[in-house]
């Protein structure tokens, strides 16, 4: 939390993993669905600066918009967390319906406020992008298409990242 006790205008690292370390993204379409749902449910209240979606977990580095930027979309800090939980719940429902499964899709994880003026912020930014290589999914993280590194490199104007 910031000194004022609010998360408005704060940078937050969000991490979640699959329940029992199961896959969150079973096929390519799941990654695209997640990003589209992020755009719909989270983009109105948070700017996305870095992300990496891996088969069993994901990292998001967001900045919660200021109260002025959000306007009446959010009336309080709890709204951000409510919206985040709703986003994950709706994604879970879509995956459960598609794959004829039930129960939790995500479990575990954390959220942490980070200071963009600290060196650790830049280390986190790099770490998020290097995850596919660190987990042995690809030999070169720059080739993983489901990260913001790929979006930054391609200069994709349709991307959901804040530039």
What's the pLDDT tens digit per position in 46-102? 999 999 999 999 999 999 998 788 776 555 557 788 899 999 999 999 999 999 999
Asked whether the beta carbons of 153 and 89 are under 8 A apart, the reply is no
**Residue 58 lies in domain:** 11-154
Q: What's the total number of domains in the chain?
A: 1
Residue 93 falls within a domain, yes or no?
yes
Is the pLDDT confidence value at 41 over 90?
yes
- Per-residue model confidence (pLDDT) at position 110: 84
| pLDDT of 1 above 50 | no
Q: What is the pLDDT of residues 118-133, one digit of tens each?
A: 989 999 999 999 999 9
Question: What is the CA angle 50-53-56, rounded to 5?
Answer: 140
Higher pLDDT, 149 or 74: 149
Model confidence at 3: pLDDT above 60: no
Q: What is the DSSP letter of 2?
A: -
CB–CB of 95/101 below 8 Å? yes
Please, which pLDDT band fits residue 162 given cuts at 50, 70 and 90?
low
140 domain-assigned: yes
Instruction: State pTM to two decimals.
Output: 0.89
Residue 138 lies inside a defined structural domain of this protein: yes
Asked if 70 and 45 count as a contact pair (C-beta separation under 8 A), the reply is yes
Does residue 5 lie within any of the structural domains?
no
CB atoms within 10 A of CB 124: 19
Give the CATH number for residue 87. 3.30.70.1290
What string of DSSP letters covers 78-117? HHHHHHHHHHHHHHHHHHHHHTT--S-SEEEEEEEEE-TT
Terminal C-alpha separation, the chain: 24
pLDDT of residue 159: 61
As a whole number of angstroms, the distance between CA 33 and CA 4 comes to 36
Does residue 130 fall inside a structural domain? yes
């Amino acid at each position: 939390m910031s000194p004022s006790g609010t998360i408005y205008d704060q940078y937050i690292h969000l991490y979640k993993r699959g329940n029992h370390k199961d896959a969150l993204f079973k096929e390519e379409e799941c990654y695209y669905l997640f990003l589209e749902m992020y755009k719909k449910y989270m983009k109105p209240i948070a700017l996305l600066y870095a992300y990496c979606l891996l088969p069993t977990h994901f990292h998001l580095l967001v900045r919660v918009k200021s109260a002025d930027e959000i306007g009446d979309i959010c009336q309080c800090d709890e709204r951000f967390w409510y919206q985040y939980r709703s986003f994950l719940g709706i994604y879970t429902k879509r995956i459960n319906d598609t794959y004829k499964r039930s129960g939790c899709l995500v479990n575990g994880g954390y959220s942490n406020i980070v200071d963009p003026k600290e060196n650790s912020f830049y280390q986190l930014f790099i770490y998020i992008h290097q995850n596919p290589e660190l987990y042995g999914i690809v030999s070169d993280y720059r080739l993983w298409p489901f990260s913001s590194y790929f979006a930054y490199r391609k200069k994709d104007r349709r991307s959901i990242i804040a530039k």
